[in-house]
């Protein structure tokens, strides 16, 4: 039997962990996702099991207590999790980006302090660049950190759209420090901000107002963050050097884009699975709708899109794992996988006829989750900007 989204050349460990996550998703996530999503309930029991499985430390080096696995292993696990419920993959997404940035750019002291606790899931990361006035145009960030005479910083400003804003305990946030550089992005610095979980003024000068009410991607908390005279120490600057934040965050976003592609693959696979099953059960005009060529062709198109997205995602992950820059490959994978995911969920919805519009059917949730993938970690337009700029430079005449 032809199964979609197979990956050749995996190690024994990769095959084992991906299959363990798949079984976990079939047994624990798919049966509960619908109810938790509709009641917008945080999937605590699922998250606890993910901690036990070591998923929070998947890419954290073994010397810090993680599993030291590759981006590819991580992405394949995310694909499986998102196949069950996109919100569950969102719980580890920002955590993984922050751990990656600390691993790549943190000082030794920051690695020692955070990575072991992040590997167990005791410390949980959130990633904050966006503000109410900006998301794509990161260089325009307004939140400001002003250096004090004792070397500390005072941060003021408002951040927007923090995935895991309330449930995280470590926020990597990008703010303006005004280094006097002529290029705006060189005036930005990443701070590692520790805080307790919860809502309200959780530490002096730092408020998480509450959960934003969203179209989909429910269960998981997405919040604002308000800095009002928040004091950060010089040691909280990622890597200990100011003015490097933009590059550090963009490095994080690059692996994050592979992760979003993997999520799009997972949601697309599930949409296909639901459609191919329903098309064989639902009868019209005396036969299963799968026997009407128009429906069978939809299935063929969906499967081809799922397969293409998976291959692009795997290619982008492998490129990063090989040590090569993967901005174009990650941008292409993110762009293609999220657009295809949107199309595939729409096709699956149509195959479900009227039942696709019912909250009893899973496809309804996928239809609300998929649009986020077109936006998160940079919209499709931003991916096309990145891809075309590099192509015009590489193919310059
Ligand atoms: C559920 C959710 C969770 C999120 N989680 C996080 C998070 O954890 N951390 C975080 O920092 N952010 C997060 N975001 C924010 C997300 O990254 C931004 O929404 C996204 O980058 C787009 O920014 P924007 O919403 O400000 O849109 P804008 O930048 O205002 O863009 C609006 C429209 O204009 C287009 N556009 C903008 N500039 C250009 C251009 N130069 N060329 C062509 N078209 C352009 C865009 O493609 C888009 O269609 C999240 C968002 C959502 C919805």
Q: pLDDT tens digits for 309-348?
A: 999 999 999 999 999 888 999 999 999 999 999 999 999 9
CB atoms within 10 A of CB 154: 16
Domains of the chain from N-terminus onward? 12-120 (1.10.540.10), 125-241 (2.40.110.10), 247-395 (1.20.140.10)
Report the pLDDT averaged over residues 235-264. 96
pLDDT of amino acid 33? 98
Give pLDDT, residue 1: 44
pLDDT number for residue 56: 97
In degrees, rounded to 5, the angle at the alpha carbon of residue 265 between the alpha carbons of residues 10 and 303 is 95
Instruction: Answer whether 372 contacts ligand 1 (Cβ < 6 A).
Output: yes
Nearest-atom number in ligand 1 for the CA of 381 is 47
Give pLDDT tens digits for 284-295: 999 999 999 999
**What are residue 126's DSSP bridge partners?**
171
The answer for residues whose C-beta is within 8 angstroms of residue 86's C-beta and 6 or more apart is: 216, 217, 263, 266, 267, 369, 372, 373
How many CB atoms within 10 Å of residue 75?
32
0.95 surpassed by pTM: yes
102-158 pLDDT, tens digit each = 999 999 999 999 999 999 999 999 999 999 999 999 999 999 999 999 999 999 999
246 touches ligand 1 (CB under 6 Å): no
Instruction: List the Cα angle 116/122/126 in 5-degree steps.
Output: 95
Ligand 1 centroid, distance to 371 Cα (angstroms): 12
Q: Whose CA is nearest to atom 26 of ligand 1?
A: 135
Count Cβ atoms below 10 Å from residue 114 Cβ, excluding itself. 23
Q: If pLDDT is split at 50, 70 and 90, which confidence band does 182 have? A: confident
331-369 as b/e, with b when 16 or more CB fall inside 10 Å?
A: bbbbbbbbbbbbbbbbbbbebbeeebeeeebbbbbbbbb
Task: Tell me the average pLDDT of the chain.
Answer: 97
Distance 239 CA to ligand 1 centre (A): 26
Dist. CA 346–CA 127, nearest whole Å: 30
Instruction: Report residue 179's pLDDT band, with 50, 70 and 90 as the boundaries.
Output: confident
- Whether the CB-CB separation of 46 and 88 falls below 8 Å is answered with yes
Pocket test for ligand 1, best of 375, 378, 383 (most atoms within 8 A of CB): 375
Q: Is the CB of 129 under 6 A from ligand 1?
A: yes
Ramachandran bin of 324, using left for φ above 0, alpha for ψ from -120 to 50, beta for the remaining angles? beta
For ligand 1, is residue 379 a contact (CB within 6 Å)? Answer: yes
- Rounded CA-CA distance 58/100 in Å is 11
Over the stretch 7-20, which tens digit does the pLDDT of each residue have? Answer: 999 999 999 999 99
User: How far is Cα of residue 31 from the mean position of the Cα atoms in its chain?
Assistant: 22
Measured by CA distance, the residue closest to atom 25 of ligand 1 is 135
What percent of the chain shows pLDDT beyond 70? Answer: 99
Residue 381 beta carbon below 6 angstroms from any ligand 1 atom? yes
Query: Ligand 1: which of 98, 101, 161, 174 to mutate, judged by most atoms within 8 Å of the beta carbon?
Result: 161
Residues labelled catalytic = 377
Is 283's C-beta closer than 6 angstroms to any atom of ligand 1?
no
CA 159/CA 141 separation, integer angstroms: 9
pLDDT grade, residue 2 (50/70/90)? low
């Amino acid at each position: 039997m032809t199964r979609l989204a197979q990956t050749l050349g995996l190690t024994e460990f990769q095959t084992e962990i991906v299959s363990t996550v798949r079984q976990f998703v079939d047994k624990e996530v798919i049966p509960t996702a619908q109810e938790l999503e509709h009641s917008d309930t945080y999937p605590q029991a699922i998250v606890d099991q993910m901690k036990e499985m070591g998923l929070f430390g998947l890419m954290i080096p073994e010397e810090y207590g993680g599993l030291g696995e590759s981006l590819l292993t991580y992405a394949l696990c995310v694909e499986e999790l998102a196949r069950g419920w996109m919100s569950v993959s969102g719980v580890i997404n920002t955590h993984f980006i922050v751990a990656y940035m600390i691993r790549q750019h943190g000082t030794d002291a920051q690695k020692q302090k955070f990575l072991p606790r992040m590997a167990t899931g005791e410390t949980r990361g959130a990633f904050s660049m966006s503000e109410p006035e900006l998301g794509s145009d990161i260089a325009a960030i307004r939140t400001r950190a002003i250096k004090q005479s004792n070397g500390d910083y005072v941060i003021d400003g408002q951040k927007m759209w923090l995935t895991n804003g309330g449930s995280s305990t470590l926020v990597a946030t990008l703010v303006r420090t005004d280094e006097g550089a002529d290029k705006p992005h060189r005036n930005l610095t990443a701070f590692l901000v520790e805080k307790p979980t919860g809502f309200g003024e959780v530490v002096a000068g730092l408020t998480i107002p509450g959960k934003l009410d969203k179209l989909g991607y429910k269960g998981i908390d997405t919040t604002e963050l308000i800095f009002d005279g928040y004091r950060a120490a010089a040691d909280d600057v990622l890597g200990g050097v100011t003015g490097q934040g933009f590059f550090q965050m963009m490095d994080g976003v690059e692996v994050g884009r592979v992760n979003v592609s993997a999520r799009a693959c997972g949601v697309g696979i599930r949409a296909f699975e639901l459609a191919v099953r329903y098309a064989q059960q639902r009868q019209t005009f005396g036969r299963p709708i799968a026997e009407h060529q128009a429906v069978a062709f939809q299935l063929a198109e969906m499967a081809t899109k799922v397969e293409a997205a998976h291959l692009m995602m795997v290619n982008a992950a492998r490129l990063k794992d090989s040590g090569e820059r993967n901005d174009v490959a990650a941008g292409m994978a993110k762009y293609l996988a999220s657009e295809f995911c949107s199309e595939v969920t729409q096709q699956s919805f149509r195959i479900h006829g009227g039942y696709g519009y019912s909250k009893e059917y899973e496809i309804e949730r996928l239809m609300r989750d998929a649009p986020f993938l077109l936006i998160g970690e940079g919209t499709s337009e931003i991916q096309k900007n990145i891809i075309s700029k590099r192509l015009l430079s590489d193919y310059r005449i």
